[in-house]
Chain A
Amino acid sequence: MIRVFNLDYTYYTGGGAVPALVNINLTVPAGQTCVLIGPSGCGKTTLLYLLAGLLQPARGEIWIGEERITKPRQRTAIILQDYGLLPWKTVWENAALGLALRKFTARQQQERLQPLLAGLGLAGLEKRYPAQLSGGQKQRVAIARALSLEPDVLLMDEPFSALDALTRESLQQILVEIQNQRRLTTVLVTHNIEEAVFLGQQIIVLTGAPGQVKAVLANPGAGSGDYRFTSKFHHLCSRVRQLLQE
């Protein structure tokens, strides 16, 4: 479970202090997917970095389970916007990086990664470099790298924004399957309304800068196969759109 209490975050630029997030409170129950949506510049990426322990809040607290977050946490995986793949490492080396940094032996890396890469349809691409992959393939390598560490929390920043519509939907499906198998507590940042409604069992709508929680919407139907074609889905989409436009 992720809990955030009275969180503020302020950027310091040359011109002075710019509040980015004000008084954020949220709870993500264990195993659920929470989607953060809001206009650009509302601080949703900042909130994700705070949850990852990559930034420190000016005020307030973040708890994951019984642990207060002040630095990156072992079992939190984060996938950043540009996938964070190193151009000088092959698919295999990129996917194994987290394991290698944690001193797993080559054999242990092999045992964990091989089924993961195969499951994500990356078998046979191990020796390629990121520049030789499509956007969707890169994203799947990033997912493999994140899952290799067997996290219980998965944070994703606009994971599918650079992909075409069909690739995007197939990756959303992969994410739902991962979610069904592993029950990760997931926080996903997006600016895409349909993605938010399809994936988020909880949808948090943020206001423009500085970011504040505008609404928290429950969405129990999220992730089921034909949810996209139901009237509930479309109803919720227009509700989120309305909230964003207000």
Chain B
Amino acid sequence: MRDSRQALSYILSILFLFSLWWLVAVWINNPGLPGPLPALRSLVKVGWPELARHLYISTYRVLGSLALALIIAVPLGLWAGRHPAFDSFLAPLVYLLYPVPKVALLPVAMVLLGIGDATRMLVIFLVIVNQILITTRDAARQIPHQLLLSVASLGAGKISLYRQVILPACLPEIITASRISLGSAISVLFLSETIAGNSGLGYFILDGLFRADYGAMFAGILAMAGMGLVLYILLNFLEYLLCPWQRL
């Protein structure tokens, strides 16, 4: 009952967004903004093997940089959250670097690392790592001292405390941070793919623009939106699997 109502509300919002798009397209009446139906049609007509290749590369870049950010930021965040001395070293670094526009480092990364995947993934990583680090640290800080004491009194050592208490306590926030980071990651991905290189959805979209092939361009945009949506749903599913107590 609840599930079907939820499904309905999703379908309704998709319809709402598409009608909005349709209205704007009709109003503007410019080949640069086709309505939803022509756009979907172009998604069917476009050379799929080509689009799939770019979609794969983009997905790989986003997931790779998200994984890298998690591998580095989660342990650091957990450690900083539980060890004020380490945090007092880490926090100023994070705060100083947070407002620096990491995207501006893209040219530097290209000079140093070339125009391959590493450059784009490094910049995406730099943009999202802070977010995950700060969220994880704040979550680790808020674990009630009593909970740690009581598990310690059962004979838990340091490693067990991290595994049994600190990591699971922060897991919901880590997943939320990943979800939020996903949006920034895809934006930066697009940007990084439009500069140099010849692969990824960003390239595909821009290539469509330059060839004035608006059908291909919109197919690329829809593919990118679809990628974001699927990854977002995957993260929700991950939360469903890993945090069953959150659903109570």
Contact = CB atoms under 8 A, between A and B. Distances in A.
A31 B32 CA distance: 85
A135 interface: no
A86 B144 CA distance: 11
A114 to B, nearest CB: 19
A37 interface: no
A72 B151 CA distance: 11
Nearest to A145: B154
A131 B246 CA distance: 10
A246 to B, nearest CB: 31
A86 B147 contact: yes
Contacts of B88: none
A84 B151 contact: yes
Contacts of B152: 54, 72
B89 interface: no
Contacts of A81: 146
A189 to B, nearest CB: 13
A41 interface: no
B164 A84 contact: no
B169 interface: yes
Contact of B151 (A76, A77, A86, A149): A86
B149 interface: yes
A97 interface: yes
A97 B151 contact: yes
B153 interface: yes
Nearest to B157: A101
A49 B164 CA distance: 21
Interface string A121-159: 000000001011000000000000100010000000000
A149 B164 CA distance: 18
Contacts of B146: 80-82, 84
B153 A78 contact: yes
Contacts of A52: 153
A72 B161 CA distance: 15
Contacts of A82: 144, 146-147
Contacts of A84: 146-147, 149-151
B45 to A, nearest CB: 49
A14 B115 CA distance: 52
Nearest to A99: B154
Contacts of B154: 97-98, 101, 145, 149
A79 B171 CA distance: 26
Contacts of B168: 86, 88
Count class of interface residues, chain A: 20 to 34
A49 B171 CA distance: 29
A74 interface: yes
Contacts of B156: 101
Given A86-B168, A97-B164, A98-B155, A131 B248 contact: yes
Contacts of A77: 153
A29 interface: no
B243 A88 contact: yes
B245 interface: yes
A102 interface: yes
A54 B153 contact: yes
A119 interface: no
B187 interface: no
A132 to B, nearest CB: 6
Interface string B81-113: 000000000000000000000000000000000
B222 interface: no
A87 B245 CA distance: 7
Interface of B: 144, 146-147, 149-156, 160, 164-165, 168-169, 171, 243-245, 248
Given A88-B243, A97-B151, 16 more contacts: A49-B149, A72-B153, A72-B155, A79-B150, A80-B146, A84-B147, A87-B245, A88-B168, A97-B164, A98-B154, A101-B164, A102-B155, A129-B244, A131-B248, A149-B154, A149-B155
Q: Which 4 A-B pairs have the closest CB atoms?
A: A84-B150, A98-B154, A88-B168, A78-B153
8 contacts: A49-B149, A52-B153, A72-B153, A84-B146, A84-B147, A88-B243, A97-B164, A98-B155
